[in-house]
Amino acid sequence: MKAFKRAESNGFMIPDLTLDCAYFENTKCKILDGKKLSNNFVQQSQTLINGRKIPCLAVILIGNDPASKVYVNNKIKIFKEAGFLSKSYILNEDEYSEQKIINLIESLNNDENINGILVQLPLPKKFNSTNILNSILPSKDVDGFLAHNMGSLATGEFNSAVACTPFGVMVLLHAYGIQLSGKNAVVIGRSNIVGKPMGLLLLSDDATVTFAHSKTKNLKEICQSAEIIIAAAGQPEMITSDYVSNSAIVVDVGIHRKIDGKLCGDVHPSVKEKASALTPVPGGVGPMTIAMLLLNTALSAWDLSNKK
Ligand code: NAD
């Protein structure tokens, strides 16, 4: 996988999970286990850290969004497990202007002990997230959201951080031996953080990619002809089994909390009856996103070709 070469040259490897045969109950649908693969990357990080600089992530959380707090705590927990450092900045939105946040980011840009800076999204409405994100030094943008890093992905150079969620999906597909070359892949969603980089990554590994979005007509028919479906529309359980051809591979990026408190994705549970492989929610793409954040932060600290 082309996007993984930089990680490979710094000692990371994608384990082979092709013989790992866990299936959803009473189905022939294989579980693509992101939790297991994420744990493997935590272990690799623990080993690779020996004799190297300990990577450190600065996490900035502004406001009181409960889901954001959970995501930030999960990230800090995984960094600790891997033996990496993290510093959190929990900011009260009433006490911080946009400029004051940018000043904080600039001081972190200049701090040699900080290798990655993550601003947890979404930001409270009063802030312009583009202005804030653009103040991060590209070499410390471990989320891979900045134009510089998106450009490196779009041109296929892959010499800087790749957006964590789509990168995690690619690594998961690769670990389970899913071939992409020549496959028809549909990406549902065109956001800058998931859909667009996802499509570009699939393209870089020679899939034939269709981007679908909120204005797409005949989405069901488009999905029915896909061998790989990446559901990232942010619509709970929208992809039902009639969207999916027999033996399609389905990746569920969505995360939603239902009224009963349980989590669900963009893919309806009935899809298990038809698909040949599916990512669970929770335990699929979510843990892989954090694993790739870990990897991107390690590369920011260790990769000698990393441009400052
Ligand atoms: P977004 O709202 O920015 O983008 C959603 C995209 O889906 C848009 O491009 C829109 O055009 C498209 N869309 C919306 N409704 C549609 C419809 N009915 N048919 C076709 N396309 C439609 O969301 P995002 O940030 O890209 O995230 C997408 C989902 O992934 C959300 O559920 C989000 O919570 C989840 N997410 C999960 C992780 C993770 O780590 N698992 C990370 C990021 C996002």
Domain of 207, CATH number, reads: 3.40.50.720
Asked if residue 204 lies in contact with residue 157, where contact means CB atoms within 8 angstroms, the answer is no
Same domain? For 29 and 171 the reply is yes
35-93 pLDDT, tens digit each: 999 999 999 999 999 999 999 999 999 999 988 999 999 999 999 999 999 999 999 99
Last residue of a domain, one of 138, 154, 175: 138
In the chain, which ranges are continuous DSSP H helix? 5-8, 34-48, 66-82, 98-109, 129-133, 147-154, 164-175, 195-204, 219-224, 285-302
Q: Name the pLDDT band for 305 (thresholds 50, 70, 90).
A: low
Residues 100, 9: one domain?
no
pLDDT-based confidence at 21, cuts 50/70/90? confident
Whether 254 maps to a domain, the answer reads: yes
> Measured in Å, how far apart are the chain's first and last C-alpha atoms?
25
- Domain range enclosing 122: 53-138
* CATH number, domain containing residue 57: 3.40.50.10860
Confidence of residue 308 (pLDDT cuts 50, 70, 90): very low
Secondary structure element (H or E) that encloses residue 229, with its range: strand 228-231
| Catalytic position from the list 120, 196, 205, 266 | 120
Give the pocket of ligand 1 (CB within 6 Å).
165, 188-191, 193-195, 212-214, 216, 219, 232-235, 253-255, 285-286, 289
Counting residues of the chain whose pLDDT is more than 70, the rounded percentage is 99
Is residue 186 domain-shared with residue 86, that is, in the same domain?
no
Q: For 172-192, write each residue's pLDDT tens digit.
A: 999 999 999 999 999 999 999
How many structural domains compose the chain?
2
Please indicate, yes or no, whether residues 245 and 186 belong to a single structural domain of this protein: yes
Same domain flag for 13 and 98: no
In a domain, 28, yes or no: yes
Pick from 150, 214, 221 the residue to mutate for probing ligand 1's pocket: most ligand atoms within 8 Å of its CB: 214
CA-nearest residue for atom 17, ligand 1, is 214
Q: Is residue 71 part of a domain?
A: yes
Tokens of 262: 């349980």
